[in-house]
A and B are shown apart, each in its own frame.
Chain A
Amino acid sequence: MKNKQYKLDIIPGIVLAVFSIAYLSMIPSIQTFTGLGSTPLTNHFIPYLWGGVLLFLSLWIIVRGLRKRKKYLAEGGKIEKTSLKAILMEKREVVASFIALGLYVGLMGVIGFLITTVVYLFVQILILTPREKWKKNYVPAAITAVVAGVVLFFIFRYVLNVLLPVGILSVFGL
């Protein structure tokens, strides 16, 4: 139902409001320059402006969301509680993709680009493949992961000179 969209106002509004308050509270500790040639508006002004505007806008959408909610309830709508766990389950491929991506970039520095890329590609391909088709895709996914990983590593590291981390493979003199 369309009216349920109040949630899309209230929740982001609260998150953004908290974020802007945190941002605003950090501004006073920024060093300012007041010597010769300094500008009347210091480097605090613009952060205060953006932070303030963001806080105002997030309060605006919170109020708008609350109004929508009131209207929705007045029209006989029921508030259904969906647990965070249910949402995460519903979006499990997205959650898994973000975890895989996070681990990928997090471990790349230590383990190295080549190994993490091959593993990541394999895992990510399977995440994006429907569960019932996994069996058929193990081999093609593994081949794609190894070939793409090796080709990309050597092209970018040695032909295009991008400093990709070598990690533990450095013992082989790569």
Chain B
Amino acid sequence: MILQGLTEVLQPMTIILIAIGTVVGIVFGSIPGLTATMAIVMFLPVTYSMTASEGISMLMALYIGGISGGLISAILLNIPGTPSSVATCFDGKPLADKGEAGKALGTGVVFSFIGTIIGIGLLMVLAPALCDFALKFQAYEYCALTVFSLSMVIALTGHDMPKGLISAVLGALLATVGLAPIDSKPRFTFGLYQLNNGFALVVLLIGLFAIAEVMSYAETVRQNQDFTIRSNVKIKGVGFTFKEFVGQIRNAIVSALIGVGIGILPGIGGGVSCMISYTVSKNTSKHRELYGTGIMDGVVASEAANNGTIGGAMIPLLSLGIPGDAATAMLLGGLQVHNVAPGPLIYEKSGNVVYAIFFAMVLSAIFMMLFMLLGMRFFVSVLKVPKNYLLPVVVVLCAIGAIGNANMLFDTYCMVGFGLMSYLLIKSKVPTVPMILGFILGPTFEQNLRRVSQLTSSDPFWNHPIFCVLIIATVFVVIFSVRSNLKDAKRAEQAELEAMQKAGSDE
């Protein structure tokens, strides 16, 4: 199966698709406002007619390119191209201002590569282990796992817990549309046969992320944005010396491991991992006062971590079917389109595709490094592409993606509806990522909860230690997050009070 996966990736066609995917991913990542998720959304319809390995390989390349490309605008413009590169700005931009843009870019690229490879390595080791473990899961365990995952999402996404919960519940509620699990009776379909299968994940994601993104760009039309690049970029080799490289190895490994760890947790992605890893790297460094003034360490910490997140986020996606962030949720949609069902049996049922994914990821990482080191000038010039032309084309591609998902025009109506809903939710400060998790986990929860309701008399829950552990863990997570939420709220209130008092004394 490993060999089969390798040969599938080494087909000339697949290699070309991976190369195209990487380049497009980097372009999307580098342009602020376009994300890796959008790149995957856009290319999903292109993959419909490909084989599973070709399609998924291309989507993986887009993902890796998209996360990596963000560093270009973070370093040159001080605007992160994707949320994953927020922390790259902190040291990348000062480094570029010192006239060392080449060094900053080279460092970012090389350590993105190292982060990706560490992430893939851990994915290859941990995913099969988690699959083996998850094979023991029955209704009880799945039930507890979904509850646990949902509680993690709510604990980790944002400070406003009720709104995070609203988002997750709204997602679960949307998933109740269609034929009910187990007894297949229609619910909330309003007699529309198009709704019998419920809403498609892909259509929901397009609406939530792509349409809403275009609309938030529409808000800024009247503010003149200036994306001119001041520094002239010259990269010679990789931009740094071998000695400097050796000095960063420990930092890179720690950061990548943080990235993988954050990636495994459901619902949070590169944006959080780069911030946490930057903070950890700063606090454990011998020269922490230099962070923020333009040193390699900061760029390494951010870029190794956000790329490590890729491998991490793939672990629960492949072995449990639970995506780690928005981009992997999109990949889940891509896997479903190609009839690959993620879960503990994925190695047995679609082993060749899994290994193809691994090899495609490695190849994408290599391509990403080569293209970015050799073609930096091209990617920098791409930053000038006017978004008022690009985004409408993205919307059309989204519509094609929605139509092609099940060859139904009806899905485009849903897409617009979800886009409107997402825009209004974002305006109301309700986060949208928990919604995807709610949408994906809701049906699993229902199905297994109803099975459990059948089993309780014959097979009580204390026969299921994993179930008990997960439920206890959930209780801890909930208590912990409620406490930290209350603390946050108190702190915010205090800060506000102090600010008011200060304002009062100033007067």
Contact = CB atoms under 8 A, between A and B. Distances in A.
A142 B163 CA distance: 42
Interface in A16-67: 16, 23, 26, 30-33, 38-41, 43, 45-47, 50-51, 53-54, 57-58, 60-61, 64
Nearest to A148: B393
A16 B166 contact: yes
A127 interface: yes
B468 interface: no
B453 A164 contact: no
A85 B387 CA distance: 28
A57 B162 contact: yes
Contact of A97 (B183, B218, B445): B218
Contact of B453 (A40, A57, A108, A130): A40
B176 interface: yes
B399 interface: yes
B375 to A, nearest CB: 24
Contact of A32 (B183, B396, B428): B183
B446 interface: yes
A121 B338 CA distance: 30
A32 B180 CA distance: 10
B392 interface: yes
A124 B183 contact: no
A53 B173 CA distance: 10
A109 to B, nearest CB: 5
A41 B143 CA distance: 14
Given A41-B453, A45-B450, A64 B162 contact: yes
- The bracket for how many chain A residues form the interface is 35 or more
Contact of B389 (A32, A60, A109, A125): A125
B-side interface size class: 35 or more
Interface in A115-173: 117, 120-121, 124-125, 127-130, 137, 140-141, 144, 148-149, 152, 156, 160-165
B222 A130 contact: yes
A171 to B, nearest CB: 20
A129 B388 contact: yes
Contact of A46 (B163, B415, B449): B449
A50 B172 contact: yes
Nearest to A95: B218
Question: Which residue, of A38, A47, A109, has the highest number of chain B Cβ atoms within 10 A?
Answer: A47
Contacts of A105: 399, 409, 412-413, 415-416
Interface of B is mostly: helix
A70 interface: no
Contacts of A164: 400, 403
Contacts of B48: 160-162
Contacts of B182: 39, 43
Contacts, number: 178
Contact of B428 (A12, A39, A41, A64): A12
Given A101-B211, A161-B49, A93 B166 contact: no
Most chain-A Cβ atoms within 10 A of its Cβ — which of B389, B420, B427, B454? B389
Contacts of B449: 41, 45-46
Interface in B429-457: 429-430, 442, 445-446, 449-451, 453-454
Contacts of A47: 173, 176, 187-188
A51 B173 contact: yes
B434 to A, nearest CB: 12
Interface of B: 45-46, 48-49, 162-163, 165-166, 169-170, 172-173, 176, 180-183, 185-188, 211, 214-215, 217-219, 221-222, 224, 387-389, 391-393, 395-397, 399-400, 403-404, 407, 409, 412-413, 415-416, 419-420, 423-425, 427-430, 442, 445-446, 449-451, 453-454, 496, 500
15 contacts: A8-B427, A12-B425, A38-B183, A39-B453, A51-B173, A97-B214, A106-B413, A124-B395, A125-B392, A128-B388, A128-B391, A129-B221, A130-B224, A152-B400, A162-B403
